[in-house]
Every structure is written in C-alpha cells, then in structure tokens.
Amino acid sequence: NVSSDLPGRVERIREAHPHSGEKIVEARGVTKTFGENQVLKGVDLDVHRGEVVVVIGPSGSGKTTLVRTLNHLEPHDGGIVLVNGETVGYRPGNDGRLIPRSDASMAEQRSNIGMVFQRFNLFPHLSVLENIALAPQQTGLMGREEAQEYARTLLGRVGLAQHASKYPHQLSGGQQQRVAIARALAMKPSVMLFDEPTSALDPELVAEVLEVIADLANDGMTMVIVTHEMKLARDVADWVVFMEDGNVVEAGPPALIFGSEGHERIQRFVRHVS
C-alpha cells in the first residue's frame, strides 16, 4: 500500500516548510461524491496571497473536481471551502447556519475567482476585445470605455495586442487560451483557477500559454493550477500538491516534491507523464 506512509509525510513537510501570509483559499475536509463514487475524500488546501499552487496526480484522482469545488462549479457535499474568508456556495443565515447562496450572490462570489478551462470556452460571436470586456461591463465593475481600455491592456499582457478585433475562430488554440486568460483577469479576481489549461493544445502551442502563466506568477497573481506539465510545476509552483484516489497524499515545495528525496510514488508518476 503506497499511501500508508504518506499522510504523515505531508504533515512533516508542512511543519518544515510553513507557507505564510493571508489565506486566499482555504479548503478543509472537502468531500464530493458522484453516485456511489466518492472522488474527494476529505481534501485540505491552503493558498496564500501571491502563491502558485500546482495540483498534479494521476487521471481520475480528483484534481479537476477539486479545483471546480473552489468556485462551486462542482458543489462539495462535505467540508468547507473559503475564498477570501467567505464560504463558497453558502452564506451564513440569520441563525448562523449555512444556507445556499442565491444566484446573484454566487455570481458576485465567482466574479472574484477567475477560471480558465481546458477548452477555452470563448464566446464565438464576440470579438476578442468584446470577449474580455464583457463581464466587467455586465457586472458594473467598469463602464464600457474603461472595460475596453483594460481589455486592451490585458491583451498586451498576453501578447495579443494586434488581435483585438478578430473572432475566436480566427485564432490558434494557444491564442484562444491566452484570450481566455485575459478574459478571466478582466474581473480583477483575487485568485485564478486553471483546469489543465494546456491539455487541449497542440504540443507546439503549449509553451506560449505556459509563458503567460509564468508571467502572471512573476507578477504575484494567486493561482491554483491543475496540470500534467511537470515543467510548470517545477518552475512556477511555490507549492505542489500530489493527489491520488481523492486524497492529497503529498504536498510541498517543488524542490522537495521532485527532488531525489521525494516520494518514490511521485517519482514514478513523473517518469510516467514526462
């Protein structure tokens, strides 16, 4: 049983390498069951301001489900998820007990949590600029002019300043994903979630997206990234979380996770995906 000695190790690593600062995301004992299949079995996750947490692990281990519980795209059925100290998906009722958020309250909460999907999900009938400027206008965060100006700034940041008036189908997959990142940034979220942002891309388009993500990391953006790109985990992560079978079985700084003293199970996984 490879997992038997791991939970203790997680605790020892945490004690040796406490990450610190304000917690943007705090998940405790998160569970999620589909039918008979419990895919999250009590997951804890902390993400501090400015920190990049990369979630790795075999297919089916629950990575995507975990990241989707952080903005309630997948409602958790046990445990608690806090973003900016507020309970995700639920709010305290008058008697102090948690009740489900209204759609409006959920939308407001989500506006502070940027999400980038494997498939870019751009609005096909809107130009690149409109894709990015839409949400800040619709939510009243910005007026039309300010939203468009900010969209241009973001397009520059993802290296697509020349493509503002194009439509998604006129762009490569890598370019579309960079637009999707800009669109998520447009709401000035306090955390960005990435669900396998490069796995739908042709191999030659992966690097340009990883570069944008690395730039965001350098700028201090708080991020949670599910990925099979070990290079991203090694180079950009402050903290790597290894999931297996619905549990976090190992977590720590990349040097430790991927180093020669790292757990043999992870070394095997890394050899397998690389």
Which residues contact ligand ADP (rule: CB under 6 A)?
A: 34, 37, 39, 57, 59-65
Instruction: Provide, rounded to whole angstroms, the least separation between the CB of residue 67 and ligand ADP.
Output: 8
> In angstroms, how far is CA 105 from the centroid of its own chain?
21
Nearer to ligand ADP, 56 or 151 (CB): 56
Q: How far is the CB of 77 from ligand ADP (least distance, A)?
A: 13
Q: Give the nearest distance from C-beta 57 to ligand ADP in angstroms.
A: 6
Question: At 89, phi and psi to the nearest 5?
Answer: 85, -20
**Minimum separation from the CB atom of position 226 to ligand ADP (A):** 6
- Burial label for 111, CB within 10 Å (0-12, 13-18, 19+), is middle
Nearest to 58 by CA among 125, 2, 129: 2
Nearest residue (CB) to ligand ADP, 46 versus 196:
196
By C-beta, is 33 or 111 nearer to ligand ADP?
Answer: 33
Least Å from the CB of residue 198 to ligand ADP? 14
- Supply the minimum distance, in Å, between the C-beta of residue 63 and ligand ADP: 4
Smaller CB separation from ligand ADP, 62 or 174: 62
**DSSP β-bridge partners for residue 243:** 248
| Cross-strand pairs, 223 | 52, 192
Integer CA distances (angstroms), 198 to 176, 203, 229, in order: 11, 9, 8
Residue 261 — φ and ψ, nearest 5°?
-90, 0
Residues 6+ apart with CB under 8 A from 177: 116, 120, 197, 198, 201, 205, 209
Instruction: Pick the closer one to ligand ADP by CB: 37 or 94.
Output: 37
Rounded Cα distance between 65 and 162, Å, is: 36
Alpha-carbon gap, residue 218 to 81, rounded angstroms: 26
Closer residue to ligand ADP, CB minimum distance, 57 or 254: 57
> Least distance in Å: CB of 47 to ligand ADP?
18
Specify the residue, 66 or 154, whose C-beta has the smaller distance to ligand ADP. Answer: 66
8 A C-beta contact, residue 120 and residue 173: yes
